[in-house]
Structure 1
């Protein structure tokens, strides 16, 4: 497995940044700056990057101080790329900038996927998020794919081929239409903040690793009768492996964190109520490709 060591300082900076980002979720328009006193001698926090201030303005301002005239960026540990496809995207023109690389064996099904943009800071993420259609308003059979830069949202990508996914389906109704956008936002924030493996009280078998690179991307898929949110991982496990196995323990910890801290459910809460609702389930890509169900496990 290829892993990237995350320095403790970067982990702390990411956590602080994402906590601030959650608090600033209501930032929706450059025309609505946040009124907050700014200390002219304010020191940069660890991990922040100061850009050239505008002429006549020597104050340090983050996006949380001023949504349009900030001069400090909060860098992410990784660069991320957003992709999109829908039945309508087939008619959109293709350019080198919007066409992702085709992994060997993809059989051309990726021809309809368009690359939207890559970003590497919290500010760029919010700029993107505030200017795209939320999942609740997308047509059926559309998909948003948010993946680490250089990883294509396909089973055939070398970073995905031995992996799997956590996924959940939520029926489309008036309640879920108001909550799916929040679920997707928090899923993206957990991904770009590298917090899916944050230690919890239930993670004694899988404490936060010094090397954490299991997550390759996250996907939201509106369908005519339900929404599906998925987390893709570069490694997989199955129901027959002991929970104390190193990889399975990490996967279970990701699933628990996803269910409770990101989606907002109780850990022991049963979600299936019939219809299109599912439990939070993990299965390997190889099993999904072969339509094998016996190796799935849930939290």
Structure 2
């Protein structure tokens, strides 16, 4: 099958009961039904392509020997289908088992999880810190966040804002974030060949799109009305020397 699949129709884990196309006929080998990875993880005859390819990156803790960011940031694997995603997910350590100061980054192919990347430099991020680490199922929340990203459910198709998602493991908290291409402000002349996301939008429309992403992300994280997601720009964070700049928006 070459048809792209909405991940909302696919179970949250390979052990789920919701198997797509159970009774369909496979046109390639004449068998009675399609066999997905959810039926048989080793012998399946269907691949469900993702709308975009996504690359997982890992930041390992610094050794204290003057490691640079490039020394710590490692590219793990790029996936282009639901099956490849589950193959990756089932063979990496869960967030709850990572060492302090570790990070996972899942970004669209060709986008590095760095402020300086041409597709990120005008952008920002929605983020939330979970300070009660013992009471948080961080593995489930991170999985839901990744699925929302690769399933393209955090934004509408024409928005072109979501660049990637990140989880940070720190001593006092877990933090999960969604990186966006813009901060909602109109950028008339980028000068870097990047014309997607934000071109021709008014500031009002840009803010509306980002607020929509924030609200959807808040639902993914299962946050209550009194718990606030914060949005800040990468440029502001860079100038402040911190990953937590003053919030531009909250939801």
Query: What TM-score does the superposition give when structure 1 sets the normalisation length?
Result: 0.68
Partner of 1:193: 151
Partner of 1:120: 80
User: Structure 1 residues 110, 174: closer, same or farther in 2, change over 3 A?
Assistant: same
User: Structure 1 residues 216, 87: closer, same or farther in 2, change over 3 A?
Assistant: same
| Aligned-pair Cα RMSD in Å | 3.2
Asked if 1:74 is matched to 2:74, the reply is no
Asked if 1:289 is matched to 2:238, the reply is yes
Asked if 1:61 is matched to 2:8, the reply is no
Give the number of equivalent residue pairs. Answer: 230
CA contact 1:80–1:192 (8 Å) conserved in 2 = yes
Instruction: Find the aligned partners of 1:66 and 1:74 in 2 and give their Cα distance.
Output: 14
Q: How does 1:201-216 map to 2 (within 5 A)?
A: 208=156, 210-216=157-163
User: Structure 1 residues 141, 61: closer, same or farther in 2, change over 3 A?
Assistant: same
Deviation at 1:85, TM superposition (A): 1.5
- The SS at the match of 1:228 is strand
Asked if 1:237 is matched to 2:184, the reply is yes
Asked if 1:298 is matched to 2:247, the reply is no
CA contact 1:217–1:232 (8 Å) conserved in 2 = yes
Greater relative contact order structure (CA < 8 Å, 6+ sep): 1
CA contact 2:184–2:205 (8 Å) conserved in 1 = no
Deviation at 1:108, TM superposition (A): 4.6
Asked if 1:258 is matched to 2:214, the reply is no
Partner of 1:218: 165
Query: What TM-score does the superposition give when structure 2 sets the normalisation length?
Result: 0.80
Partner of 1:19: 9
Deviation at 1:110, TM superposition (A): 2.2
Partner of 1:142: 102
